[in-house]
Structure 1
């Protein structure tokens, strides 16, 4: 019995999934298989997470797709296992997605995933936000389970083009985090900050997403 078999995901085989993911389904289902087979072994996904991989990770990540710009480049900050960056790249082939990750073993994984899934619109870049600021910019920055919101705001601002958007997947405490980050938002030049509840399929709790637009100026 495999690790994946020991932690059967109740949503595996759900007929709603191919419909929800549409044209991206072949890549998403392949990514699911890769995560189940390699994730626990490579320290990317905990074994206990396999039973809720669809709900907690893949569907959760998928909610960013509709919140991204109509065109341009997206940087997935601290991409890790590829959540949400790989999912976003599969669902939004019209965007260029940069999977930014500082750890070598994770960039090796991400490179394998991009090649295996044939994500021609995605590329892997090793480094931290601080390392690549000024060398690359984007119309949106995505992130998930990376850091507290005030840190994400600071790391993302140098990567965003004027009127670019931070799209940060957060938990139920997102409104509280946003409230605590008011000073950082003002100093860093963000406007229109809000928490959006983004839905996936019926019966799954919506994802809390913090959205903030970088205006292009900072308060000194």
Structure 2
């Protein structure tokens, strides 16, 4: 693998024993690629302002593993559109964990797109395509069986960016926190108007993570 921003991509913070066990379970034979991804996040990702330095100790549990377990909700050989990919969370984490999936990363900021492309090349990920665009600009050009997002916006706004990018019969998978139920209540009318079904809160990673991941799953009605 090459170096990015002068630091080897493999120079990742070491996971705790529990995080390492989780990483081996989630990433399997691709755990070394996950290590390299964490190395990029902790070096060039910090240097270029994609993450704050205080996040380094939490990269494994709070970020990479937290995102990767969302792939448990996805069927084999599916297409995934990740909106507002930023530092590749959740898009690249899912792509590493599930090589059978094809990921479209949608990110409007050039510096982030450049970083994502460098990491994809370094990790030799062949199942990822990056689009420099806002979500609304790629509606009609790409569509996913699943549309993902993390720390992008509240559901009232996020629904308008994600539901139109889902294939009929697909689903939006939005990673959320404690505000998930409140956000759903505020967004119900918007979701229904856009063609979304009844949203539900799903917890993933309960068997491997100390803090499982909360996902709002919104089914998209068939055409």
- The match for 1:11 is 16
Q: State how many pairs are aligned.
A: 211
- Give SS of 1:99's match: strand
Is residue 2:109 matched to residue 1:103?
A: yes
Is residue 2:141 matched to residue 1:135?
A: yes
- Give SS of 2:199's match: strand
| Candidates 39, 49, 61, aligned match of 1:55 | 61
Structure 1 residue ranges, 4+ long, deviating more than 3 angstroms after superposition = 12-15, 200-203
Pairs within 5 Å for 1:146-157: 146-157=152-163
Is residue 2:32 matched to residue 1:21?
A: no
- The match for 1:5 is none
In the TM superposition, residue 14 of structure 1 has moved relative to its aligned partner by: 4.8
What is the rounded CA distance, in whole Å, between the counterparts of 1:152 and 1:179 in structure 2? Answer: 14
- The match for 1:94 is 100
- The match for 2:185 is 179
1:200–1:115 Cα change, 3 Å: farther
In the TM superposition, residue 18 of structure 1 has moved relative to its aligned partner by: 2.4
What is the rounded CA distance, in whole Å, between the counterparts of 1:103 and 1:84 in structure 2? Answer: 17
What is the rounded CA distance, in whole Å, between the counterparts of 1:173 and 1:100 in structure 2? Answer: 24
What is the rounded CA distance, in whole Å, between the counterparts of 1:149 and 1:109 in structure 2? Answer: 27
What is the rounded CA distance, in whole Å, between the counterparts of 2:170 and 2:104 in structure 1? Answer: 15
In the TM superposition, residue 142 of structure 1 has moved relative to its aligned partner by: 0.6
- The match for 2:49 is 43
What is the rounded CA distance, in whole Å, between the counterparts of 1:33 and 1:138 in structure 2? Answer: 29
- The match for 1:84 is 90
Compare 180-189 and 107-116 and name the one that shifted more: 180-189
| Candidates 151, 158, 166, aligned match of 2:164 | 158
What is the rounded CA distance, in whole Å, between the counterparts of 1:53 and 1:113 in structure 2? Answer: 16
In the TM superposition, residue 156 of structure 1 has moved relative to its aligned partner by: 1.1
What is the rounded CA distance, in whole Å, between the counterparts of 1:14 and 1:143 in structure 2? Answer: 23
1:84–1:30 Cα change, 3 Å: same
1:197–1:147 Cα change, 3 Å: same
Give the alignment's Cα RMSD to 1 decimal.
1.9
What is the rounded CA distance, in whole Å, between the counterparts of 2:133 and 2:202 in structure 1? Answer: 29
Per the normalisation by structure 1, the TM-score is: 0.89
- Give SS of 2:184's match: helix
In the TM superposition, residue 72 of structure 1 has moved relative to its aligned partner by: 2.7
- The match for 1:211 is 217
